[in-house]
């Protein structure tokens, strides 16, 4: 297993953050890492969906295989074993 590399990118809208992250993930993919082994952490569900859609399109894979593209909260819930049916919702 490869050592995990963590990067943080901060910038306003339109500064190229998404393109940069996708380019970095392309580099990792070129080293033989499967899409399902790449993790992405975002703060919003919409940001996560956008990245998942763009990566899936770019790599010609179904978005469902990008199981580690999650929000920070989703990663945390998964790590401690909380399932979606255990969460309180606004419904």
pLDDT of residue 5: 72
Tens digits of per-residue pLDDT, 15-63?
988 899 899 999 999 999 999 999 998 889 998 999 999 999 999 999 9
Give the pLDDT band (50/70/90) at residue 91. Answer: low
pLDDT at 1 over 60: no
3-state secondary structure the chain: CCCCCCCCCCCCCCCCHHHHHHHHHHHHHHCCCCHHHCCEEECCHHHHHHHHHHHHHHHCCCHHHCCCEEEHHHHHHHHCCCCHHHCCCCC
Q: With a threshold of 0.85, does the pTM exceed it?
A: no
Give the pLDDT band (50/70/90) at residue 4. Answer: low
């Amino acid at each position: 297993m490869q050592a995990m590399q963590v990067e943080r990118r901060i910038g306003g809208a339109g500064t190229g953050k998404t393109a940069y992250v996708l380019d970095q993930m392309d580099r990792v993919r070129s080293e033989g890492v499967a899409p399902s082994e790449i993790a992405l952490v975002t703060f919003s569900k919409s940001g996560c969906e956008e990245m998942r859609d763009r990566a899936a399109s770019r790599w010609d894979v179904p978005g469902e295989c990008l199981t580690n593209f999650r929000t920070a909260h989703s990663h945390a819930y998964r790590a401690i074993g909380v399932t979606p049916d255990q969460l309180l919702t606004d419904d």
